[in-house]
Each structure stands twice: as structure tokens, then as C-alpha cells.
Structure 1
Amino acid sequence: MQTKRVVVTGIGCLTPLGNNLEDYWNGLVNGVSGADMITQFDASKFRTKFACEVKNFDPTEYMDRKDARKIDRFTQLAIAASDQALNDAGLNKDNIDPDRMGVVLGSGIGGLITFQHEVMEFGKGDGTPRYSPFFIPKMILDIAPGHVSMRHNLRGPNYSTVSACASSTHAIINALDLLRLGKADIMVTGGSEAVISEAGIGGFNAMKAMSERNDDPKTASRPYDKDRDGFVMGEAGAIIILETLEHALARGAKIYCEVAGGAATADAYHITAPHPEGLGAQNVMIKALEDAGMTSEEIDYINTHGTSTPLGDIAEVKAIVNVFGDHAYNLNISATKSMTGHCLGAAGAIEAVAAIQSVVHDIVPPTINHFTDDDDLDPKLNFTFNKAQKRVVNAALSNTFGFGGHNAAIIVKKYIA
């Protein structure tokens, strides 16, 4: 079947490194850590006391105070990033067909902060149910794309994707396919997550999934380092505007790059651990290349899932070597979670933005916090340790994997007319 080409025409993001695209990218290129002690609640009794928070975010810059109180933080981030992206793309109610423009956003957990607050408030009482009428509408995952569509009168496809840490990459793939098949002309896509709370930190601590390096949070996220001890929790909202090439050209839009393809697979192995040989990760990269009509030799950079967990990092690298063979040694590989932390359902979106910017600027952001080589990782691979590297990036691949064995990968490449 003949499918349409799809390009990126707008970007918006709020991240632990900055609350707009320029600040986020500068933070990545300069190897800045977004980790610090938690400010959103008193974490003094928790095993992990730090995280990568979005700093200095004021939702009233995007909505009035009354509306902000009715919306969970994860939705606030999605709205803010969407406003940025639509503005960046030069889109407004006067130059769009609302029936041909949709919203697909991903989140792994959604309104956990709202859920925690309402349940804890109930627990303080005498058992009489006194819940906010906004409890459910604030909490549910689909409310973020719902709010974005209502805010901008976008009446095309509208829903959420949920696949743990792969959620927003799945959202981007879904949006890509809707455009390819002619179901829409423009899609607002990406994702958001905001679960830095007692429940979020406590829950992941109980799984022993997070770093407990409280004496040095800035260096706690150490993908591919021998002494890595788990991921650092992050939060973010990141939105990209995808548009059919013909529609973008017709309106004279700025084009960042082309989205070449994407794919999804399952490990079918374990609820939290990756397949030890990275078979699901291997398959998703192969299928993404097939979907893009590209060979492995055409990829220059891989933004890895690279969470800084002992098992996950090794499994993904095994998969890369199996897929790319000798070309693996020509690639730049980096894990930007070393700077942003792991933003869960928003990880795929902010890492897609990093991949897009690498293609636009021909710079590979680093994997920071590398101190000691891991003997289980091939030292001849270029992990872009500690310092960004300039190189031509014609095409970049971004991996995201989620609890439950969900794998998703997308490929972006330079736009050539």
C-alpha cells in the first residue's frame, strides 16, 4: 500500500534540563544533570531522596489558576508542551482543519499524584466518602489528550497509549501510522509523566529499581557504568507535531526532519526484567528498520533506553550488536537518561526530541556519569561517554522499553525533498 511521508514541524518540551526546546537541548549537549534532592514532598524517610524534577514550572503561564487546580500535573505538562509545539509549528485555529487534526499522547501511570491525594484524604476521615468531583477526570490517562483537543478544537483521532516506559513512543508510532494511512493531516503526539510523589518513589523503592546514591544525586544515573545501581526518577512533558509532507509543504511549514518508521514488539518474558539476550529489543530494531525501508548501515546514532539498571543496559547492548554487526562500531550510542533521569511514560517523547535534534544539528548528546568500565560491555563500542560528539547524523534510532515486556523504536532522518 502506498503510504504518505511524515515530517516533524513543531516541538515543545518541559524537562528536568529546561522548560523549552532550546534549554533542553543545551542541557543535553553540555552534559548537565537534572538530578537533585526532591522538593515536591518530604522524602527524608525514603530510601531514595532525589529525582529529576521539572523545575520552575508554573502552570498559570499556560492556564488560569482555577483551571490548573482541576488538572493533574501530568496533564499540565502535556498542555504546556502542546502549546509550545503548536506555536513552534505555526499552527492555530485559523490555518487548520480541526476534523483532520488529532492528538495521541502516552503516559505510563497518569494521575498518580491526584490518586494518592484523594485516597490519603479519605483515609484521614471517619470513612465517609468525600471525594473531589474532579478526582476521576484528573486521574485518568486519556484526559491529557482530551484537554489538548478541547483547548485547540482538534476533532480528529484522540486517545492515549499505555505501555509503561514505552508509552509515548507507541503514541508517536500510532500518530505516524494514522498520517501514513490518510486518517489525518496533522497529529499532536508525545507524552507526559509526573509521579514524583510518596507513592511513586516508595513504590519503585520497594522494587529496588532506583538508585539510592543520596550522597551524590548528580552522578546517580550511570548507564553503562560498572557501578550503576538503578534508575533515577524523572518527570517531563514532550510533544512533537507530525504532519504529512504534502500538507507541510502546502502551508510552507518549517521541517525539522522526517519520521522514517517505527515498530513495536514484546519480550514475552518477565513482568519487569528484560529478556537477558535482548531478543525483544533486537526484534523491534529490525522491524523498525524494515518499516523505514532502511538498512542498519544507514543509522548513525542510537538513543538507547539505557536506564542505568544492571540487567537492562547489558541486554540492550547485546541486541544492538546482534542487529548492527560490524556497523555497531561505527555508531554513536548514548543514554540521555544519564541527564534527565527516567521519565517513565514520557521517556520516549523526550528521547525522540533528542534524536530529532541530533539529526538537525549533527551533534550526539553524551552519556554522562561514566567513571568505571563494565567488563560485560564491549569497550570498542562508542557510548559517547561524558562529552557530546559532533558527527553527521543522517538517521537516528530511539529505543524505549517498558515493564511488561513492551518494546518500541522509531527512526528519524534528515528530510530530503
Structure 2
Amino acid sequence: MVNRSAQDIRCLNRFEVLRRFYAAADARTRQDLAAETGLSFATVANLTAELLDAGVLMEAGRDGSSGGRPRTLLTVNADRGALVGVDVAETSVRTELFDLALRELAVDERPLAPGDVTPDHVTQQIVAGVTAVLASAGLHQDSVLGVGISIPGLVERDRGVSAYSPYWAWRDVPMRDLLLDRIDLPIHLDNPLKASTLAEMWFGAGREADDLVVVTLRSGVGAGFALGGALYRGTTNSAGEWGHTCLVFGGRKCRCGRLGCVEAYVGTPGIAETLRGVAPDDPLLASDGDDSALLAGLAARAANKDGVAIEVIRQTGAYLGAAVGNLVNLFNPEVLVLGDQIADHLGELLLSETRATLADHALAQPLRAVSVRVSPLPHDAVSRGAAAFALEGFLDDRELFGPVSRSRTARTRAKAGAGAGAEE
């Protein structure tokens, strides 16, 4: 049973109110926010007062379109501070700098050589990336509200530890401590599953969905979950390792050492294995681990009606449809999103094949309720979601958003009372 304090509930409500500004991408009135969140007008007035006091929101004029007295418009104060999102992937470190409205200010990408990558080397690349984007945007470190970092594998978020990374066989690496020795900024660590899900919740297909599943498809695959409008992490922050559930009993060997995992069929190495089965001498197999070259090649050839490419994508979609059918039956989501590198390249063709197989594996009622779609976010969904780690960490700052003082409560109640009469 989850025991949430009043402060925890207030923080979740703060997230929900602010998410509406990103969902609408324009100014909102307090009345808009109350209608969209289901919170009372008084609660919304209290929360927006906190956000205004902290400089996260600012007033943006009046809206008199509904007749009667004009209502105050609120919007995100983009200049309040910057957020950094870092996507540490198997072969690269991508660092992006955003303003508080989540508009990209600068980007830096650095390769990671395949093989035995050390924590110290990755730390150096992250620090170099953060330094580069700040210099590119002409910003000082003091303007950064936080740095969110996505590390593949299992992450102990509270301790800032990479518990296990399948790419480099890391175990219990204290990444946050390593970084704090070099960057004097708030550091928020988690993995790509959580980053992709937060990105969809804040900025993508899940902005208006309370129950959401986000399937990430790259070299490794996984699934992130938002249940009841909140990110689901599991007891040890390990929820989402769907890629290592069994799809084919006694099937292909997965890099985790087990047989028949979902990842061994719908991850990029699994797609290469499917291609090898269809056309053992196909020239795309010579890409030697270059995931982008393999996927781009398949997509280009499928667009030109190449039979081999179409068959590989068809088989991948069939495996994926069966695997996500389990997710639809288990979680009964409103929206299921296919995202990341594989979905970016194979897009609608993969989606149509997935939907066709899904219909044979999902129960009728949850199938009717779910909308299955490709992520609308650009290719930087993980780094954008990592920036959302930093945003949520900032919004959960107990010193900045501590218990509401009596004076603020009285002031907000007065505003709410006046607002309900004057602005409605």
C-alpha cells in the first residue's frame, strides 16, 4: 500500500497543473486548469500561487472571450531557469539544454566506443556534454535548475546508483556521486524506460491519458507505465523490464543469458537475426552493429517495395503485436505508444503489422479501449524525458515548495474567493 503524505499529494497535483501548460502549449486560466485537472478551483488557485511565487508561472494578460469580467491568463516563465537532459545510450551520449518551457537551446552528441566502457569515461562524456551545451547557449551553470540523466539498465533512483547495465556489465556504480564530484548541480538519475514515459506524459501522446504504456524500441527494449496519471516505478524502481519477459519458449538466446526474450525478437539485434533468417547474405548484415544503418536501410528498401525488407518488418511487427498484446491485457491502457529508434525508422509499416497481430492476442474489451500509435516526439524523446526528471526534481524541492505558510494560505483563499466571483 502506498502511503502518501499531504506534501506528496500536493507535489503530484503541482505536476498535474503544470503538465496542462505543456499539453495545451498556450496560456491557461485558473478556471481552465480546474476543469482540465478535476481539482477544485481553490486547490488550483493555491497551487498556481505557489508556482507564481517560485517564478515557474507568470501572468500573461487577460482573457475576456467568455464574456463577463476578464480572467487572468497564466503561462510558463521560460526564463526562470534551464534544464539539462542527458541520454546515455550504448554508443553515444546525447546532451540537450532546454528552457523551462522545454524549448531546445543547445544539443551536444558524443560517441561511446563499443565494448568495455568504464563509469569514469561515461562520467567524463556527460560532464563534457553539459559544459558544451551551456557554452553554446551562453548560460552560466547557476541558471541550471537540474540535470536529468538516463542510464540504461536498472537504476536505484534514490541513491543515484546504476545497479546493473546490460551494455557494460556495470553493477552498483555510484554515478550521482561520480558526477557531483565534477558538476555542482542537482543530479537526477533514472533509466530510458522512465525517461520515455515521462516525455510522453509531459509532452507527447500521453498528455491527456491517465493510463499509458510506452514501449521503447532500440537495441534494448522495455515498457514504461503511467497508471492513474502517475509514473509507475515498482518496489525497486525496476518496473518495465518487459524486454526480458518470455515471448518464445526455448527461443533465441537473449544477451541477458535467457532464451526467447521479447528483446531477442524486436530489439535491433533481434531484427538483424530475423533478416539473417530471411536473407543470410543480405548486404545490410555487413553494417556490423550500426543500428541506424540497418534500420534506415530496411525502411528505404521497404518504401521501394523490396520483398526482403517488407518480410523482415512484417515478422518484427508480428512478434511485437503478440508481445504488446500481453501489455494491453495486463494494464488496459488508454494509449500505447511505440517509440524510440526502431519506431522512428520503421514507423507506420511496423505499426500496421503490430496492430494486425495485436488484434489476435488482446482481449476484445481492452483492445477496443486502447489507441496504439507511434510516438509524436522527435528522436530526442529520452533526453527530453531526462530533462523532465530534472523538472520534477525541481518541482519537488521541499525548500522552495515547502508547507504553505498561513499568510500565503490566507492570501490564496482570498484570491480564490474573489476569483470565483469576479472571473467566472
TM-score by length of 2: 0.31
TM-score by length of 1: 0.31
Which has the greater radius of gyration? 2
Which structure: greater helix fraction? 2
